[in-house]
Chain A
Amino acid sequence: MASIEFRGVSKSYGGTQALRDVSFRIEDNEFFCLFGPPLCGKSTILRLILGLEDPDAGEVLIADRPAAGIGPAERDIAMVFQNLALFPHMTARDNVAFPLVERGRPKAEIAAKVADAAEKLHMTHILHKAPGQLSGGERQRVAIARALVRDPVAFLMDDPISALDARLREETRVELKRIQREVGHTLVYVTHDQEEAMSVADRMVILREGRVEQVGTPVEIYDDPSNAYVAGILGAPEINVMPLGRGRTADGLIAVPDAPEGAASIGIRPENLRLTEGDGARITDVEPLGGFTVVTLSAPDGPDLRALLRGQPDLSPGARVGVEDGTARMFFDRDGRRLRMPAAVPA
């Protein structure tokens, strides 16, 4: 039960700058996602929160108190490592009991809490086994139970369910969110899966090469990204970014009468593209997903576009269509920075 705050934190390993002037705040009891491509600094942030590393510059605050000088054991933060890091020489039960044993709790309490955590994660039947005898999913549950068994101020999870198959991931994801709500603790969750990040997070931070790109709720960031990179990293299929010409996109496909000064490109989410009668673009691929259909379009001299259409429209590759967009447009300048439209004056 604690907030976690980064104030201007930098960290480098050897010659590599892992974090550059990173600041953000995780509120108490929040499900907070760290999201970004590999090597963007996600794991470094976790290590700094845990106290396994010290920042080169800046400050990490836990429960609004500076954490510098407090060792990992005293920070009272539980962690599920990406590779799980179970203790191979102990049974699942001893693995789960480990944090309590190390804190010198009475035997009866340990037994009760281990049983409780095992119950929550449906793993009572595997407690007597050694990690080597467990499947990947079972090991994952042992690691999560080891974190849940005590009452830490926050949980950290480094991509904990990446080893599971798609269906089990989804189940575990829902389960984790339920447990987090029940237990009511701050949870910092690292993932590289944008769908996972958007579905579980209360708020999230987008990282890129050790820098914070944007912090906010998933919907805020999706609807109102601060630059082309953030716009591109959330959403599947990816946002269409088209260079701008005079009054239209450079490929002449879409009319853009209202581009702000300095705009170099326009971003349109696939779900905001509509197909019309016309012959500006050619359909190159149709992927029916059941409820939705992804259509790939190619224009004579512009990037390929992707449109996400509802239902299963009768389209086939090779057909020529026109394209029109909805209202939710984003403009970016030459460096990918978002250009905001001046607020419309109500009539």
Chain B
Amino acid sequence: MTRSPAFHVFRTAALLLALIFVLIPVLWMVSMAFKPIQEWSATGDLLTWWPRDPTLDNFRYIFGERTSELIVALERTAGRPILASLLSSVVGTAIAMLAGTAAAYGLSRFGSGRNLPLALIQLRLFPPLAVMIPVMVMWAYLDLIDTWWGLSLVYGIVTLPFAFWLMKTYFDDMPREIEEAALVEGCSRFRVLTRVTLPMMRGPLASSALLVFILNWSDYLIALMLTTREWVTIPVYMASLSSSMTGQLYGAKAALGLIAAVPPVILGIAIQKHLVRGLTFGALKQ
């Protein structure tokens, strides 16, 4: 199809605009992360895009090193929150993917529990926060407050509907003949799953897991309510980065934000090749 030059101009302009909206905050964060305090606490003309005097002080600071500029020592360093975020997000994602995939497969193939999909989506009909107070009370009784496993469990439950619905669409789209061929060629029902279905679903599993991981990784409110000290996660910890003398520690926050962006980006790059290909590429006649 040939398109008019005006279309190309318009499309480029729209893309640029979208890119500006998306990228400017990110780039600003990157820039801030490498600025010394005089630069990130400045206003007016002193704010520049490029750090005039780039430094790693912000990173040193959040990991507990004293720097000449930020004399206030942090009560806690970033190490533990990073561990907390990693543990709770990874385990939460594992719970959601395991339960969600199993439920989606069962429902897609054997059709029992017809109300399950709706019941699961109901988990997302209201903001998770609406049930967080009862959950807090329960978790307090169970001694799960301020533990990584208590947080993981809630993450698993809250993101389960996403894992379920994504995987169910993929299972529904898989031609039934492929599994039937495996049955006819000598597989048991369970072996079909491990030999054919799950290996075929590597891409969908990876991309769903990435989405669920990002949801867990970026949570603030649930962690704020369910953790207090030992196992606060990166977002909660980030909110606490301020001091009575300098106010919000923007440089430290930017440095932490940059660190927090690393795992999703690495995972995204790692599964990229799975996202490109269709599910049944080559399985069928044409």
Contacts and interface: CB of A to CB of B under 8 A. Distances in A.
A12 interface: no
B184 interface: yes
Interface string A68-107: 0001110101110111111111000000001100110000
A50 interface: yes
Nearest to A162: B285
B175 A85 contact: yes
B200 interface: yes
B149 to A, nearest CB: 34
A134 B282 contact: yes
A52 interface: yes
Nearest to A52: B180
A83 B184 contact: no
B177 A130 contact: no
A133 interface: yes
A103 B184 CA distance: 11
B185 A131 contact: no
B282 A79 contact: no
A163 interface: yes
Contacts of A98: 182, 185
B187 A102 contact: yes
A75 B284 CA distance: 24
A72 B283 contact: no
A88 B184 contact: no
Interface in A280-327: none
B181 A85 contact: yes
Contacts of B202: 89
A132 interface: yes
Residue from the set A84, A85, A163 with the largest chain B CB neighbour count within 10 Å: A85
B196 interface: yes
B200 A89 contact: yes
Contacts of B177: 81-83, 85
A185 interface: no
A77 B184 contact: yes
Contacts of B199: 89
Given A81-B177, A85-B177, A72 B281 contact: no
A131 B282 contact: yes
A87 B199 CA distance: 10
A99 B186 contact: yes
B108 to A, nearest CB: 17
A87 B200 contact: yes
A146 interface: yes
Contacts of B157: none
Contacts of A66: none
A130 B285 contact: no
B185 A163 contact: no
A108 B280 CA distance: 30
Given A73-B187, A73-B188, A87 B182 contact: yes
B282 A83 contact: no
A140 B284 CA distance: 9
A72 B184 contact: yes
A30 to B, nearest CB: 20
A86 B283 contact: yes
Contact of A83 (B175, B186, B200, B277): B175
A132 B285 CA distance: 10
A88 B281 contact: yes
B112 interface: no
Given A88-B283, A102-B187, 6 more contacts: A73-B183, A85-B175, A87-B182, A87-B200, A102-B182, A139-B282
